[in-house]
């Protein structure tokens, strides 16, 4: 009987092999990059918030209401994203936990929402009068916090 | 039933846990589809019921996604582990009572998860929105499931481990690992990397292994054919497990991560075609000479559909990961379309294949209505492809408009308008709603047929079907 066959006939060895191979992927794509110094690079657009800052409360509203399902916060190294503003480096996201970069851009990218909408009133109207959302259940305080967060994205 | 520990007669009814999982999986499927319909309706009518937080899109969407993933697909996976592994190793599940208890608690924890999502307790990570307390509950229960399945395989009567057992054991091991990973929230891009690993792992280390584990069992068992090649099966299994941990980073291609990571992600997603094609060759090969089964409502038809969809999905994922393609369709609804294919076609059709094959064994009766079975297959396929096709078409339109706007030097505000697409996106949302309604109608037919089968199906002789011969001992 070959050695290969024995591996797939012994439960413990099979499971150990699975864990070993998966660890290789986890190490290469998560652990090693985390130790990479380049991950600390910033372009000066860092998003960090003080403990009681409205921006932090607004980030929680953004997280809770699932805004990140339809809006991204990443400008990619592609021609399609050139008009969206400066591209952010890894270090720029250091203050975001969780990092809501987004996977789908059904709505506009919000990486530089604060630059695009310097007027808070205009931003507020776009939140409450969008074509797919109105957020009528948010309190004024929550809306103010959300607008403050979006304006901090510059 | 002979038990694995030396022929003693088991006092616990065989398949108790698998039957509970099968029934609960169908119930979660119906719930998930209803919430998907409600979420899409919210996108089309944002002002209806405005002010009701519990019915906002941001609350309904995670419930729909998690009910589909952890309610329907994970429960169907547990059913596969509890029903297939014992049959493939020639022994009863190690501990039926423990299995049944884990299934019951799994659903109680999931209901708690739905409640927390309704209240807005969202972790902010795609498909890992459930809060930490719920994650811990699911983690402990998935460990119990893994223990039960692993012990069943350890105390087996068959000398060789059949291919399905490799895949289902690997999936049982990876489920708690992935739940734990999904609950780790870091900061910045490190958090995005963990999230990407989690997403890739869900696809390549849990959903696809379960789908292939089911296909490798039900096709040979239904056709009586041998799996053509054990060597091919072995190559496919180990390659899939190896590349699975690397593929998640493709979600961040061209993003704020080192370039070498992007190169790895693209390369590994392309390499993922190897295990998928080898498995497809084996599964389709096991259906040789019995193509009549694909022409009528049978487990083989669902399994072959799942495997063909898997090949298409993997090829599309590999192409999408390439930066020159990603710049056009990356971060658009195209991504959502690919996710719909892997969840609603690849994984769901494998789970349907399992149910079609194993449900009669669990309740001791044959399916009551062939017409309902036929409607279920075509309704599910047409509904899922309508949703996925509409999402992918919307993604192409989004990408093309963004590219045109960039080339013409339009401002960021112009890009923002291109992002929303106004009435065009609304049209796609209508099509997706229609797709979910059709898919949902098919699931109601499945639930109705399952309930009727349990009461009025033709009785079958369990001993004749309980231990189907797998054509090959591959």
> Do A81 and A143 fall within a single domain?
yes
Residues in chain B closer than 8 A to A94 (CB atoms)? 187-188
φ and ψ of A51, to 5 deg = -55, -45
pLDDT at B463 over 70: no
B9 bridge partner residues: B2
> Do A25 and A74 fall within a single domain?
no
Quick one: tokens of A25?
């992927």
pLDDT at B223 over 70: yes
Check if the beta carbon of residue B18 is closer than 8 Å to that of residue B79. Answer: yes
Specify the CATH number for the domain of residue B132.
1.20.210.10
pLDDT reported for residue B372: 95
Residues B6-33, mean pLDDT to the nearest whole number: 85
Check if the beta carbon of residue B304 is closer than 8 Å to that of residue B292. Answer: no
Quick one: tokens of B184?
């780790």
pLDDT at B293 over 80: yes
pLDDT at B305 over 50: yes
B61-97 confidence digits (pLDDT tens): 999 999 999 999 999 999 999 999 999 998 999 999 9
pLDDT reported for residue B464: 44
Q: Which domain holds residue B454?
A: 16-465
Pick the closest to residue B140 from B187, B112, B95, B179 (CA basis): B179
Q: Which of A17-21, B308-312, B364-368, B406-410 has the lowest mean pLDDT?
A: B406-410
> Do A95 and A132 fall within a single domain?
yes
> Do A70 and A142 fall within a single domain?
yes
Give domain status of residue A142, yes or no.
Answer: yes
% of residues, chain B, pLDDT over 70: 92
**A–B: how many Cβ contacts below 8 A?**
256
Q: Are B258 and A36 within 8 A, CB to CB?
A: yes
Give domain status of residue A42, yes or no.
Answer: no
Q: Which residue on chain B is closest to A117 by alpha carbon? A: B413
Specify the CATH number for the domain of residue A67.
1.10.760.10
pLDDT reported for residue A128: 86
Q: Considering only residues 103 to 132 of chain B, which have any Cβ-Cβ distance to chain A shorter than 8 Å?
A: 120-126
Cα–Cα distance between B228 and B405 in angstroms, integer? 52
pLDDT at B166 over 70: yes
Cα–Cα distance between B350 and B214 in angstroms, integer? 6
Q: Which of A89-103, B137-151, B155-169, B217-231 has the lowest mean pLDDT?
A: A89-103
Residues B217-238, mean pLDDT to the nearest whole number: 93
Q: Which domain holds residue A8?
A: 3-35
Give domain status of residue A49, yes or no.
Answer: no
Give domain status of residue B197, yes or no.
Answer: yes
Nearest to A33 among B150, B173, B261 (CB): B261
Give domain status of residue B326, yes or no.
Answer: yes
> Do A136 and A63 fall within a single domain?
yes
Residues B130-141, mean pLDDT to the nearest whole number: 96
pLDDT reported for residue A8: 64
pLDDT at B170 over 50: yes
Quick one: tokens of B347?
């994984």
Residues in chain A closer than 8 A to B56 (CB atoms)? 65, 133, 135, 137
Give domain status of residue B472, yes or no.
Answer: no
Give domain status of residue B377, yes or no.
Answer: yes
Q: How many domains would you assign to chain A?
A: 2
Give domain status of residue B11, yes or no.
Answer: no
Residues in chain A closer than 8 A to B150 (CB atoms)? 11, 15
**Which residue in the block uniquely carries the two structure tokens 């259906």?**
B287
Q: What is the mean pLDDT of chain B?
A: 90
Give domain status of residue A45, yes or no.
Answer: no
pLDDT reported for residue B473: 43
B394-452 confidence digits (pLDDT tens): 999 988 888 887 777 665 545 554 445 566 788 899 999 999 999 999 999 999 999 99
Quick one: tokens of B278?
């080898």
Q: Can you spell out the DSSP letters for B224-289? A: -PPPS-HHHHHHHHHHHHHHHTTGGGGGGTTSSS-HHHHHHHHHHHHHTHHHHHHHHHHHHHHTTT
**Which residue in the block uniquely carries the two structure tokens 């890894």?**
A90
pLDDT reported for residue B381: 98
Nearest to B166 among A8, A24, A102 (CB): A8
Q: Which positions ≥6 away from B208 have C-beta within 8 Å?
A: B240, B244, B276, B310, B342, B346, B347
Give domain status of residue A10, yes or no.
Answer: yes
B347-399 confidence digits (pLDDT tens): 999 999 999 999 999 998 999 999 999 999 999 999 999 999 999 999 999 88
> Do A62 and A119 fall within a single domain?
yes
Is B143 in the A-facing interface, judged by CB distances under 8 Å?
Answer: no
Which of A9-18, A145-154, B144-153 is the most confident on average?
B144-153
pLDDT at B472 over 60: no
> Do A108 and A66 fall within a single domain?
yes
Shortest Cα distance, chain A CAs vs residue B396, angstroms? 12
Give domain status of residue A48, yes or no.
Answer: no
pLDDT reported for residue B47: 83
Give domain status of residue A136, yes or no.
Answer: yes
Q: How many domains would you assign to chain B?
A: 1
B365 bridge partner residues: B459
């Amino acid at each position: 009987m070959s050695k290969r066959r024995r591996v797939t006939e012994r439960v413990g060895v099979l499971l150990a092999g699975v864990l070993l191979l998966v660890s290789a992927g986890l190490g290469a794509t998560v652990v090693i990059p985390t130790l990479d110094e380049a991950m600390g690079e910033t372009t000066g657009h860092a998003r960090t918030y003080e403990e009681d800052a409205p921006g932090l409360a607004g980030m929680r509203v953004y997280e809770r209401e699932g805004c990140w399902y339809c809006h991204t916060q990443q400008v990619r190294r592609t021609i399609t994203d050139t008009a969206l503003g400066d591209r952010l480096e890894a270090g720029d996201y250091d203050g975001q936990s969780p990092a809501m970069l987004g996977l789908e851009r059904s709505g506009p990218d919000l990486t530089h929402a604060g630059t695009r909408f310097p007027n808070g009133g205009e931003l507020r109207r776009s939140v409450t009068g969008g074509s797919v959302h109105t957020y009528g259940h948010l309190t004024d305080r929550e809306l103010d916090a959300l607008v403050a967060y979006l304006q901090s994205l510059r | 039933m002979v038990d694995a520990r030396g022929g003693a007669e088991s006092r616990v009814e065989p398949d108790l846990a698998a039957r509970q999982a099968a029934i609960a999986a169908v119930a979660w499927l119906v719930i998930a589809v209803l919430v998907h319909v409600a979420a899409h309706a919210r996108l089309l009518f944002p002002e209806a019921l405005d002010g009701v937080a519990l019915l906002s899109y941001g609350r309904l969407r995670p419930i729909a996604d998690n009910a589909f993933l952890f309610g329907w697909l994970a429960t169907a996976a547990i059913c596969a582990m509890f029903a297939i592994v014992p049959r493939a190793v020639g022994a009863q599940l190690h501990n039926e009572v423990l299995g049944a208890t884990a299934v019951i608690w799994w659903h109680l924890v999931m209901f708690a998860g739905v409640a927390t999502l309704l209240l807005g307790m969202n972790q902010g990570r795609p498909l890992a929105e459930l809060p930490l307390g719920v994650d811990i509950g699911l983690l402990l229960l998935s460990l119990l499931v893994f223990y039960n399945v692993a012990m069943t395989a350890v105390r087996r009567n068959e000398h060789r481990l059949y291919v399905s057992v490799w895949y289902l054991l690997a999936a049982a091991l990876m489920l708690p690992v992935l739940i734990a990973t999904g609950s780790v929230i870091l900061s910045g891009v490190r958090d995005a990397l963990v999230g990407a690993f989690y997403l890739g792992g869900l696809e390549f280390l849990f959903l696809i292994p379960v789908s292939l584990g089911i296909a490798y069992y039900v096709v040979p068992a239904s056709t009586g054919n041998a799996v053509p090649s054990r060597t091919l099966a072995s190559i496919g299994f180990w390659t899939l497990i190896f590349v699975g941990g690397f593929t998640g980073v493709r979600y961040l291609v061209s993003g704020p991560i080192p370039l070498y990571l992007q190169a790895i992600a693209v390369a590994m997603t392309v390499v993922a075609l190897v295990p998928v094609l080898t498995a497809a060759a084996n599964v389709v090969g096991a259906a040789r000479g019995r193509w009549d089964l694909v022409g009528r409502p049978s487990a083989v038809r669902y399994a072959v559909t799942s495997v063909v969809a898997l090949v298409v999905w993997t090829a599309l994922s590999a192409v999408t990961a390439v930066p020159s393609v990603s710049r056009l369709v990356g971060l658009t609804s195209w991504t959502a379309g690919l996710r719909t294919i892997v969840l609603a076609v690849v994984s769901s059709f494998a789970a349907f294949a399992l149910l079609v094959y194993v449900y009669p064994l669990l309740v001791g009766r044959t399916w009551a209505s062939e017409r309902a079975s036929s409607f279920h297959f075509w309704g599910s396929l047409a509904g899922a492809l309508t949703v996925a096709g509409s999402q992918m078409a919307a993604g192409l339109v989004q990408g093309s408009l963004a590219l045109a706007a960039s080339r013409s030097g339009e401002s960021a505000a112009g890009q923002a308008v291109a992002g929303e697409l106004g009435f065009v996106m609304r049209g796609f949302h209508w099509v997706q709603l229609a797709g979910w309604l059709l898919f949902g109608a098919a699931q109601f037919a499945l639930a109705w047929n399952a309930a009727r089968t349990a009461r009025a199906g033709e009785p079958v002789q369990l001993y004749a079907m309980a231990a189907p011969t797998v054509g090959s001992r591959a």
